[in-house]
Amino acid sequence: MSKKLIASAVVGLGMAASGSASALVIGGVDFGAGAINHLETTTLAETYVNAPGQTLYGYGQVNTVNGNLFYAGGNRLYFTFEYTVDAFSPTAASFKDGTINVYLMPNFNLQTQSSAANWAAISAGTLWATLGGHDMNGTVSELDATGFLTGTSLSFAGAGLLDVMSGVAGIEALDTNTIGDGAGGFADIALTTSGNNRVLNSNDDTTGCGTGQAQPGQWCLAGSADLRGDLKVPEPGSLALAGLGVLGLGALRRRKTK
């Protein structure tokens, strides 16, 4: 190959490597072109709790990633979560020891079967990431929620912090440690959530969910959540240099074989 052709190949490879950085895809999930932040919108369902020490269970689906409905082709991200109730009153609750497991799996309708069946189906998916609750403001609380009546409907709003614990190759792009926790530390993701007890899964036993007579563990609340954070995107120049390095290594090997 002539020197001119080699030079052209080097430039072309560098441009291709640089261009590939424009779309960040992690484990089959497309975060978009040139993204430096991420926003996941979700729907969720969760259980009723009314005392410290109980476990809050929940599950749901990630609807969009950075505004994209088709972020994983025909697949979707689904999740299950557990928190322990740290403190509880009729109008407020705080939670600790949170774990959220996120799975990548084919899209399905969460309203065609019970919440117990949804939990089992999601848990059998391909694990994409595990998130853990992060302490806020120097306390053990990782998620705080406030309950209030909107007419006769019980509604809630909550907020918390999360850390990326593990996941598929490339998940470290979400492990940014950029959100201050109010006590000198940093989390990866800010979580906000809301919902109420009015429109629930018709396949569940929701007896008492609308009258305050439900039992702990019943699937009595449904709503939505947003997860917001930053992204560590590889520098386009570093990818180009990596491409040049590979080409140079190939040339070196050819010389040795001559």
- pLDDT > 80? residue 257: no
Q: What angle do CA 68, 73, 75 make, to 5 degrees?
A: 100
> 10 Å Cβ neighbour count for 53?
9
Rounded Cα distance, 106 and 124, in Å: 12
The distance of Cα 23 from the centroid of its chain, to the nearest Å, equals 18
Length of the chain: 258
The pLDDT of 78-86, averaged and rounded, is: 98
Rounded Cα distance, 131 and 87, in Å: 22
Residue 149's nearest CA partner among 90, 93, 237 is: 90
Percent of the chain residues topping a pLDDT of 90 = 75
- pLDDT > 70? residue 240: no
Rounded Cα distance, 88 and 52, in Å: 6
Burial class for 165, CB neighbours closer than 10 Å (0-12, 13-18, 19+): middle
Q: What is the pLDDT of residues 83-95, one digit of tens each?
A: 999 999 989 999 9
pTM, whole model, 2 decimals? 0.83
Strand partners, 226: 41, 192
Q: What pLDDT was estimated at residue 250?
A: 46
Q: What pLDDT was estimated at residue 165?
A: 98
Q: Which has the minimum average pLDDT: 100-114, 145-159, 195-209, 230-244?
A: 230-244
Give the best-scoring range by mean pLDDT among 87-91, 157-161, 250-254.
Answer: 157-161
Q: Which residue ranges make up each domain of the chain? A: 1-21+234-258, 34-232
Rounded Cα distance, 60 and 43, in Å: 5
235: left (phi over 0), alpha (psi -120 to 50) or beta: beta
Rounded Cα distance, 62 and 76, in Å: 7
Start-end of H helices in 124-176: none
Looking at every residue in the chain, the average pLDDT score rounds to: 86
Q: Which has the minimum average pLDDT: 1-5, 57-61, 63-67, 145-149?
A: 1-5
The pLDDT of 28-55, averaged and rounded, is: 96
Q: Which has the minimum average pLDDT: 28-37, 95-104, 243-252?
A: 243-252
Task: Give the pLDDT band (50/70/90) at residue 22.
Answer: low
Q: What is the pLDDT of residues 214-237, one digit of tens each?
A: 999 999 999 999 999 999 986 654
Q: What pLDDT was estimated at residue 211?
A: 86
Sign of CA dihedral 86, 102, 41, 150: negative
